[in-house]
Chain A
Amino acid sequence: EDQVTQSPEALRLQEGESSSLNCSYTVSGLRGLFWYRQDPGKGPEFLFTLYSAGEEKEKERLKATLTKKESFLHITAPKPEDSATYLCAVQDGNNRLAFGKGNQVVVIP
């Protein structure tokens, strides 16, 4: 069974204090790893897809990386508007998707 573990569960950052979120996974035949952002009272919003180890994607202050066992979401110089829950999901060889519980990030001004 595919498993996704995200750490830390919750993170409080000062504005400008860079940090990383971790998503470790076990999956049968990785087809893709996805990062989503979810704001309170809203559905998840797609951020990135990573397909193979060594791949990196960037969007504004966010950078996602992938290895054979885990993915990191780096937040550089975060701002309060980066406060959200970040969800990681892996897609296996049968196109099944497994989500992690999320990393809740609060950025304090």
Chain B
Amino acid sequence: ETGVTQTPRHLVMGMTNKKSLKCEQHLGHNAMYWYKQSAKKPLELMFVYNFKEQTENNSVPSRFSPECPNSSHLFLHLHTLQPEDSALYLCASSQQGTNEKLFFGSGTQLSVL
């Protein structure tokens, strides 16, 4: 596989469920990111990991919990979400954690009922 792969592509969950989003990059990059994309809004940075250490948390509610076990894998654990959390969640990677030239996955379309 090449590039950045995200699973699942689509997810529907209730507000009391717990689920996880997975991201894997095959580019040999050192930094990984979670972004949120809502309709009619700009892309919104959530978390940045550089060499598997979290370097940025953009004031994200604690119901979103990231995990980066190594430079190639990134998870986003979800629990007790709200309907307004419904969005496209995009994972990205870059050579360094400086937001330059991001490579994005296809995203997970999340619907919270």
A72 at the interface (CB under 8 A from B): no
**Whole-angstrom distance from the CB of B49 to the nearest CB of chain A?**
14
B99 at the interface (CB under 8 A from A): yes
Compute how far the CA of A60 lies from the CA of B41 in the bound complex, rounded to whole angstroms: 29
Interface residues of B: mostly helix, strand, loop or mixed? loop
Interface size class of A (residues with CB under 8 A): 20 to 34
**A101 contacts B40, CB within 8 Å?**
yes
**Whole-angstrom distance from the CB of B72 to the nearest CB of chain A?**
17
A96 at the interface (CB under 8 A from B): yes
**A91 contacts B99, CB within 8 Å?**
yes
**A43 contacts B90, CB within 8 Å?**
yes
B106 at the interface (CB under 8 A from A): yes
**A49 contacts B106, CB within 8 Å?**
no
Residues in B whose Cβ lies below 8 Å from that of A100: 42
**Whole-angstrom distance from the CB of B17 to the nearest CB of chain A?**
24
Chain A residues numbered 30-45 whose CB sits less than 8 Å from any CB in chain B: 32, 34, 36, 41-45
**Whole-angstrom distance from the CB of B112 to the nearest CB of chain A?**
19
Residues in A whose Cβ lies below 8 Å from that of B45: 97
Contact of A42 among B42, B43, B92, B106 (CB under 8 A): B106
Known A4-B42, A98-B42, A101-B40; contact A41-B106, beta-carbon cutoff 8 A: yes
CB nearest to A102 among chain B residues: B42
**A43 contacts B42, CB within 8 Å?**
no
On A, residues with C-beta under 8 Å from B are: 4, 32, 34, 36, 41-46, 49, 87, 89, 91, 95-102
Complex A-B, nearest 3 residue pairs according to Cβ-Cβ distance, in ascending order: A43-B104, A97-B99, A99-B43
